Amino acid sequence: MNWQKFHKRIQGLKGWRGGAFILALAERAVPNAQLYFSAQESAAGTWPSPEDLAARVDSVWQHLIAKPNEEELILLLDQVTDWIPDTDEDAPYGAFPTADCLELMEQALLSGINQEQARAVAASQRSMATITQFLEVSEGDGLSEDELIKLFDRHPLMQREYSFQEELCDLLRTANSPADKLLTELRTLARDEGVSNIGISLDTD
């Protein structure tokens, strides 16, 4: 995998395309956050319900891509950042992919408020890092650094993530405008049949 070439392609996603790329990464990670927040029974009322989080993602797509509205983006930014959990050394593992998801959403919102700063490559790397951390926690016990690198490179979750980002990048690079049809395609791709970037699904069927 030529990461340098791949990152160069992502760097070419400017303006609304860069924001849509980041937001799609965030939406794909939403099941991670929904699972974590659902488990925080002792903090009921503090964290969003799965429905609240899904509704907030809908709002970000609307005000960032479909009908840009900076005033609404600022309000959404305050709400999203309030939900980011602490990730200190005592935090449960679930707080980390949840923070990654919400920080991706934060970066998507910031891309609409300040388009001068390129954020897509860092977002790509953040989503990849969510997966490597998950693999290290779930399958990396006792592995050497070299063995971990091989695990990351060959693991189906990482290969799936790369394929997802590549398809997302291709879709955005060839798009002329954020029309309704494109937004439907982007969100269908991002939702990935309800399976997150680390393989979590809330579908009980």
Q: Please, are residues 24 and 117 in contact by the beta-carbon 8 Å criterion?
A: no
Q: Note down pLDDT in tens along the chain; length 205 residues.
A: 677 788 888 998 999 999 999 999 999 999 999 999 998 865 556 788 889 999 999 999 999 999 999 999 999 999 999 999 999 878 899 999 999 999 999 999 999 998 778 899 999 999 999 999 999 999 999 999 999 999 999 999 999 999 999 999 999 999 999 999 999 999 999 999 999 999 999 875 5
> Which residue intervals of the chain are DSSP H helices?
3-11, 16-28, 30-38, 50-60, 70-82, 95-113, 120-139, 145-154, 156-173, 180-191
Q: pTM of this prediction?
A: 0.94
- Whole-angstrom Cα distance, residue 167 to residue 161? 10
With 0-12 / 13-18 / 19 or more C-beta atoms within 10 angstroms meaning exposed / middle / buried, residue 157 is buried
